[in-house]
Amino acid sequence: MNELYYMGLVNCDNCSSENCCENYNNINYPEYAYNRNNRVIFTNENEGFIKGNIEKSTYKAYKNYIPGNISVNNDRDRLLLEIQMYGFYLTDLGLYLDTHPSDKEALRLFNETRDKYYKKVVDFEKMYYPLNSFHSNKNDTYEWLEGKFPWVRGN
C-alpha cells in the first residue's frame, strides 16, 4: 500500500476521508505533544520562530543544535523581528488549519496572532517607512524608495 505522510495525515491510495481506512491519522506522536484533550500543543510565537516549527509534536532538533534567541540593536530592528515572528507563526498556523479546519484553538491563535501582526505593521509604518511598495504614497510621494531596506548591510 502506498501511503502519503503529510502534516499528520496517513492515507492509503484510496483514502478521501478519515472514515476510509484505519491508517488515517495513525501517527504515534510523543505524549508530551498533546494536552489532556488530545489536541496539538503549539509553541508561542517566539519559540516557533526560533525553532522554525509551531507544533511541539513535529519539532526535531538537528543533531546537537540548541536554538538561541535573536538579539536586536534598536527599536526598528525589534519591530521588524516581531513582524517576521508573527508572520511566520501565521503562515505555519495557516498551513495547519488547511488540514485541520475545525480546530478551534488553532483558529483562535490564528485570529489573535493576525491582530498582533497587523498592529506591529501599522506601528512600524507610522514610525519608519512602508514595508511594501503598495503601502506607499501616503503623502503624494513614493515613500517606498525612502525606506532603509533590511537586506542592505549597515541599516
Residues 57 and 131 placed together within one structural domain of the fold = yes
Contact 49, 88 (CB under 8 A): yes
In this structure, of 71-75, 117-121, 148-152, the range with the lowest mean pLDDT score is: 148-152
Question: Following DSSP, what letter does each residue of the chain receive, concatenated?
Answer: ---EEETTEEE-TT--STTS-TTTT-----GGGB-TTS-BPBP-HHHHHHHT-SBGGG----TT----PPP-SSHHHHHHHHHHHHHHHHHHHHHHHHH-TT-HHHHHHHHHHHHHHHHHHHHHHHHS--SSGGG--SSSS-GGGGS--TTSTT-
Shared domain for 104 and 50, answered yes or no, is yes
Quick one: 91 and 26 in the same domain?
no
Question: Do 47 and 15 belong to one domain?
Answer: no
Q: Is residue 151 in a domain?
A: no
Q: C-alpha cell of 35? A: 494536552
pLDDT tens column, 84-137: 999 999 999 999 999 889 999 999 999 999 999 999 999 998 898 888 777 666
Q: Are residues 18 and 56 in the same domain?
A: no
Residues 9, 46: one domain? no
Give the number of domains in the chain.
2
C-alpha 3/C-alpha 12 separation (Å) is 5
155 located within any domain: no
Residue 9 lies in a domain: yes
Q: Is residue 24 part of a domain?
A: yes
Which residue range forms the structural domain that includes residue 25? 1-33
The Cα–Cα gap between 82 and 76 comes to 10
Give the contacts of 78 (CB within 8 A, at least 6 positions apart): 72
Average pLDDT over residues 8-16: 43
pLDDT digits (tens, 9 = 90+) for 19-57: 444 443 443 444 444 444 567 889 999 999 998 889 887
- Quote the pLDDT of residue 75: 93
**What global pTM score does this model have?**
0.67
Q: Is residue 66 located within the same domain as residue 92?
A: yes
